[in-house]
Structure 1
Amino acid sequence: MVELIATSVDDPVARSLLTDYFRTRADTFPGNTYTTVFPASEVFEPPRGVFVIVTDDAGTAVGCGGVRAIDPGPLGPRFEVKHLYLAPATRGRGWGRMLLADLEHRAAAFGAAEVVLDTHHTLRPAARLYAAAGYAPIEAYNDNPNATVWLGKPLA
């Protein structure tokens, strides 16, 4: 059974998944200019946020993601989806959609009126996931050098 488990980003399993995520992004980023920034643990501690790992049927950690509070937006309290990652061998099973839905649910429980995220236009499978989940283009809300696309979704 696939499980979604809240943990600290400083947990060794979470840190290993984030390392894989950042390595994958750096290896495939156009121009090899990806900027890696490991998140501070306090931004993913309830009620400011949460970090989740995905374990597969064998209990192996295969993915991660988090939500964190950011400055309010036009709809009110806003949380940002960060570091959504699944190991390549696990993709196409619907686990990314399950993880994203779980993060949205957790953000709503913390009082978010909206979830937002930034991504890069070259991440086409991610773009399909976000579009299918109801995300739409919004104005840039940060200056992330790795991002070319900003998306949002109301939770109300």
Structure 2
Amino acid sequence: MPLTQVERVRRFNRTVTQRIGALDDAYLARGRPLGQCRVLWEIGDEGSEVRALRARLDLDSGYLSRLLSALRADGLVEVSAAADGRVRTARLTPAGAAERDELDRRSDDLATDILARLDESQRGRLVAAMGEVERLLVASMVRVAPVDPGAPEARACLDAYVAELATRFDGGFDPARSIPAEGALMLVATLHAEPVGCGALRFHGSWAAVKRMWVAPSVRGLGLGRRLLAELEATAAAREVRTLRLETNKSLTEAIALYRSAGYREVPAFNDEPYAHHWFEKDL
């Protein structure tokens, strides 16, 4: 990683934390640090399971427990457990809901103050840049790792894959008619512990087939499809695979564009996949 890029990211982080008041021990002058305020906001009006809070905020369980304990001591949050004790839910008390409303008001004031010191052109540039930075930061939080194809997160991705193809293919999609991917190596992408993408490799000696590429609609546009494909290529290369092959349906125009831009060339059909219209190949 170029050192200059690392230095720019660190400088950006310092500027942001100072400008939004993250360094203050009483964020927005409310007597508590930013971490407690964010948890209070994240619990929301409907409450939230503690494990879901931990996943959304990417917090260590011990640290989250300390944040919740501090909010409970201030009378802002209640935490209850289900009968089996395994699922705990955090909810705002009336005082907590009032505090959350006040934090929302002061957060609006802070955002207004940031924008008010800029002219109209600068405000537009800042908001547009923030949108781009947010998308890229979300992309950087996605984790890609191999999982057992039978794991819940893998099954969730494959079920979503089948459901989407059923709506996009002419005549629907029946996985029983498609060439199976059993025995494949499976990569799953997760964001805040939720599965948001997958891809698989089925090995055939010196070549391997890319199967079951899917990205959740909620994270499309973040470059995750390209990242999954690159991870699959790296995994295949590490196993001394020399060629990757894949097939796809004519309706998946985004996938076709991705494969072509990633260096895959269209080749004659190499299998009898009934849902395929295009076959691609790439030498690694």
- Considering the TM-score relative to the shorter chain, is it more than 0.5? yes
2:263 pairs with 128, 134, 141, which one?
Answer: 134
1:8 pairs with 143, 148, 157, which one?
Answer: 148
Identity percentage of aligned residues: 35
1:113 paired with 2:242, answer yes
Which is higher, the Rg of structure 1 or of structure 2?
2
Does the 8 A contact of 1:35 with 1:145 survive in 2?
Answer: no
Q: Where in structure 1 are there 5+ consecutive unaligned residues?
A: 45-49
Q: Distance in 1 between matches of 2:217 and 2:142?
A: 16
Q: Match of 1:99, SS?
A: helix
Matches within 5 A, 1:37-52: 37=176, 39-40=181-182, 43-44=183-184, 50-52=185-187
Q: Compare relative contact order (CA 8 Å, sep 6+) and give the higher one, 1 or 2.
A: 1
Q: Distance in 2 between matches of 1:81 and 1:112?
A: 12
Partner amino acid, structure 2, of 1:39: A
Q: Distance in 2 between matches of 1:147 and 1:96?
A: 19
* TM-score normalised by the chain length of structure 1: 0.86
Cα offset for 1:89? 1.3
1:27 pairs with 152, 158, 167, which one?
Answer: 167
Q: Match of 1:30, SS?
A: coil
Q: Match of 2:259, SS?
A: helix
Q: Which residue of 1 aligns with 2:212?
A: 83
Number of aligned residues: 141
1:36 paired with 2:175, answer yes
Q: Which residue of 1 aligns with 2:275?
A: 146
- Over residues 15-35 of structure 1, what are the superposed CA-to-partner deviations in whole Å (9 max), with x where a residue is unaligned? 111011001001111122x23
1:68 paired with 2:202, answer yes
Q: Distance in 2 between matches of 1:35 and 1:149?
A: 18
Q: Distance in 1 between matches of 2:216 and 2:255?
A: 13
Partner amino acid, structure 1, of 2:162: F
Q: Distance in 1 between matches of 2:202 and 2:181?
A: 10
Which of the two has greater helix per residue?
2
Partner amino acid, structure 2, of 1:131: R
Which of the two has greater strand per residue?
1
CA RMSD of aligned residues (A): 1.2
* TM-score normalised by the chain length of structure 2: 0.48
Partner amino acid, structure 1, of 2:146: A
Does the 8 A contact of 1:9 with 1:39 survive in 2?
Answer: no
Cα offset for 1:81? 0.4
- Over residues 75-109 of structure 1, what are the superposed CA-to-partner deviations in whole Å (9 max), with x where a residue is unaligned? xx111100000111111110110000000110111
Does the 8 A contact of 2:270 with 2:279 survive in 1?
Answer: yes
Does the 8 A contact of 2:246 with 2:280 survive in 1?
Answer: yes
Q: Distance in 2 between matches of 1:136 and 1:39?
A: 22
Q: Which residue of 1 aligns with 2:251?
A: 122
Does the 8 A contact of 2:168 with 2:251 survive in 1?
Answer: no
Partner amino acid, structure 1, of 2:223: G
